[in-house]
Amino acid sequence: MALIEVAGLTKSYGATQAVRGVDFEVEEGEIFGILGPNGAGKTTAVECVAGIRTPDAGRVRVLGLDPRTERAELRQVLGVQLQESRLPERLRVGEALDLFASFYRDPADPGRLLHDFHLESKRRTAVKALSGGQQQRLSIALALVGNPKVAILDELTTGLDPRARRDTWQVVEQVRDRGVTVVLVTHFMEEAERLCDRIALIDQGRIAALDTPAALISDVSGGQRLRFRSADAVDRSALSALDEVADVMVEGRTVTVTGRGDLAGAVEAELARQGVSTDGVRTETTTLEDAYLSLTGRSLGGHAETEGADA
Ligand SMILES: Nc1ncnc2c1ncn2[C@@H]1O[C@H](COP(=O)(O)OP(=O)(O)OP(=O)(O)O)[C@@H](O)[C@H]1O
């Protein structure tokens, strides 16, 4: 069942067309990723879903509710953790959870959330004194305090170091395991690949592709990439003719082969038949970055970012 339905969503800021006719549906129980570089229109799209912005055109429904006209009802079923959500700095962690819980008809137990998000010892700590990873865990806990059916998490690991980022990924998986449907906005391809059941690749306000991570990678790049060096002449057309092979590139002595299935087995057998010796056939992993580049001609960028606070 689709919990979120978005059709023909369009939103401009003056002359900037941030979202240009976006369609997607989010199914119950999945982690749905919206992946694209900075400025692609991700935040604008989810802010329209959350009823924070009014679309210029298009239809949005969240559990059947129209975010424009049924915002109060929507708040009871949708948890939102948006970029740069600022809390008063002197507010303590426990107070923040109690305050947010008071907004909801059927809130979660704040003590239980503190326990689940490893913040019990920080109950009396001011929000401003938390590390980056702790602040992110608190912001996810606050998005869940209303016991929502759907949670929108926007760029939740930006600014975290790799360890804090991995810890946060575990938390997101726990959220899904509680039965909450998650919309995850990110520009980190590792994050999307690791967490998401399906991903919309967004480029300049449009969806370039929407599928499972495995299908996106396999459809676009052929799925697997092998590389070897050889001083012998390779019969390229015989390699290309193999069922498993999608493409063969030869640059000097380096040969790169993309394809599917038992690609390594098929290529090594063919090289043996040709009597070609190599320095060893290496399998390289193709990624969502390859898929994004091949679809849009642009890089996702940002995946080397490691600055920021500790966990
Ligand atoms: N309030 C605003 N006023 C004017 N332009 C805006 C506003 N918010 C976003 N934009 C522009 O709309 C485009 C899409 O921005 P948006 O924030 O939705 O993208 P994004 O993919 O979420 O990127 P980021 O991760 O950097 O937030 C960008 O060109 C941005 O500069």
Give the model confidence (pLDDT) of 141-184 as tens digits: 999 999 999 999 998 888 788 888 888 898 899 889 989 999 99
Ligand 1: which of 11, 44, 48, 154 to mutate, judged by most atoms within 8 Å of the beta carbon? 44
Identify whether residues 46 and 82 lie together within a single domain.
yes
In a domain, residue 26? The reply is yes
In a domain, residue 301? The reply is no
Per-residue exposure over 258-290, b if at least 16 CB sit within 10 Å of its own CB, e if not: bbeeebbebbbebbeeeebebeebeeeebbbbb
Identify whether residues 181 and 40 lie together within a single domain.
yes
Identify whether residues 18 and 133 lie together within a single domain.
yes
Which residues have a Cβ under 8 Å from the Cβ of 224 and sit 6 or more positions away? 258, 259, 260, 263, 264, 283, 286
Identify whether residues 212 and 229 lie together within a single domain.
no
Identify whether residues 96 and 195 lie together within a single domain.
yes
CATH code at position 262: 3.30.70.1340
Q: How confident is the model at residue 222 (pLDDT cuts 50, 70, 90)?
A: low
**Atom of ligand 1 at shortest range from CA of 187:** 25
Please report, as a single letter, which amino acid is at residue 303. Answer: H
- 289 alpha carbon – ligand 1 mean position (Å): 21
Cα–Cα dist 49/213, whole Å: 23
Cα–Cα dist 6/61, whole Å: 7
Give the pTM.
0.81
Q: How confident is the model at residue 104 (pLDDT cuts 50, 70, 90)?
A: very high
- 266 alpha carbon – ligand 1 mean position (Å): 47
Structural domain of 16: 2-217
Question: Is the Cβ atom of 139 under 6 angstroms away from ligand 1?
Answer: no
**Atom of ligand 1 at shortest range from CA of 43:** 22
Residue 310 has pLDDT above 60, yes or no: no
Residue that terminates a domain, selected from 167, 195, 217: 217
- 187 alpha carbon – ligand 1 mean position (Å): 13
Ligand 1: which of 16, 38, 201 to mutate, judged by most atoms within 8 Å of the beta carbon? 16
In a domain, residue 308? The reply is no
Do 2 and 166 contact (CB within 8 A), yes or no?
Answer: no
Provide the ipTM. 0.95
- 39 alpha carbon – ligand 1 mean position (Å): 5
pLDDT at 307: 33
- In the chain, the percentage of residues whose pLDDT exceeds 90 is 63
In a domain, residue 304? The reply is no
C-alpha distances (whole Å) from 84 to each of 43, 136, 139, 158 are 12, 11, 10, 11
Question: Is the Cβ atom of 42 under 6 angstroms away from ligand 1?
Answer: yes
pLDDT at 304: 37
In a domain, residue 311? The reply is no
Identify whether residues 236 and 278 lie together within a single domain.
yes
φ and ψ at residue 33, rounded to 5 degrees: -100, 145
pLDDT at 49: 96
Name which residue sits closest to atom 13 of ligand 1, judged by CA.
Answer: 18
In a domain, residue 298? The reply is no
- 59 alpha carbon – ligand 1 mean position (Å): 20
pLDDT at 221: 55
In a domain, residue 174? The reply is yes
Strands 181-186 and 31-35: parallel
Question: Is the Cβ atom of 162 under 6 angstroms away from ligand 1?
Answer: no
- 60 alpha carbon – ligand 1 mean position (Å): 19
Identify whether residues 73 and 107 lie together within a single domain.
yes
Question: Is the Cβ atom of 84 under 6 angstroms away from ligand 1?
Answer: no
Number of domains in the chain: 2
C-alpha distances (whole Å) from 106 to each of 95, 100, 110, 141, 148 are 18, 12, 12, 15, 9
Q: How confident is the model at residue 31 (pLDDT cuts 50, 70, 90)?
A: very high
Name which residue sits closest to atom 4 of ligand 1, judged by CA.
Answer: 13
What is the C-alpha radius of gyration for the chain, rounded to an integer number of angstroms?
A: 23
How many residues does the structure list for the chain?
311
